[in-house]
Amino acid sequence: MRPLRILAVSDAVEPSLDSALLRERFGPLDLLVGCGDLPTSYLEGLVTRLNLPAVGVPGNHDPDAFDVPGMVNIDGLLQRAAGVAVLGLGGSRRYKSDGRHQYTEGEMGVRVAALLPLLLLRRVRYGRGVDVVVTHSPPRGVHDGLDLPHVGFAAFHRLLKAARPRLLLHGHTAFNRNLDTGESTLLSTHVINVNPFRIVELETES
């Protein structure tokens, strides 16, 4: 059985994806994931061209209402998509008092804590709390930056420790593709910076 193939996008419009030949270029795709800070029209265009299950979370520059036709907003929710359990947590560190989709470390900690009972129950029942975590910001100390808006969340470490997801996809921070892979392992989770897009393969579990 072939792996699940995910097209994940974030932060910057990629002109090469504005094509009716995406399937020919990338081969089979199963799931579209948005990691935040992209125009609604861009995401809607991808949804229309690919006709795939699609999930996403808002970034710190997205409007108050993250509403993309054909894409399920999974911010703070656990959903099943393309045969895998997917959990979303959007937003960045709070750097403006009135900033939308912005959270202090404590506020994100509360959001994570609210999900832990369900995730721990699922971990007991299924061996892991969730398969894929989709965030805008990275975990603290993994692909994050030094300036406040781009510092990651320590709360995500607790999330990964409790739920043991196979994959965490995030955007928000830039990296040099010529020097960095944008991929790390945190606990047992494969963490990938998808900015501006990545094709990610997830092996199917028996």
Domain range list for the chain: 4-202
Q: Is the pLDDT of residue 29 over 90?
A: yes
Contact present, 112 and 159 (Cβ < 8 Å): yes
The pLDDT tens digits of the residues spanning 8-24 come to 999 999 999 988 788 88
Q: Is the pLDDT of residue 200 over 70?
A: yes
* Bond into 69 cis (ω within 30): no
The percentage of residues in the chain with a pLDDT greater than 90, rounded to a whole number, is 85
Q: Is the pLDDT of residue 206 over 60?
A: no
Among 27-41, 48-62, 78-92, 164-178, where is mean pLDDT lowest?
Answer: 164-178
* Of residues 60 and 25, more confidently modeled: 60
Average pLDDT over residues 38-64: 96
pLDDT of residue 179: 61
The pLDDT tens digits of the residues spanning 125-153 come to 999 999 999 999 999 999 999 999 999 99
Average pLDDT over residues 82-103: 95
Q: What is the pTM of this model?
A: 0.96
Q: Give strand pairing partners of 75.
A: 88
pLDDT of residue 141: 95
Q: Report CA-CA distances (Å) from 145 to 95, 152, 169, 192.
A: 14, 7, 16, 15
What is the architecture of the domain spanning 4-202?
4-Layer Sandwich (3.60)
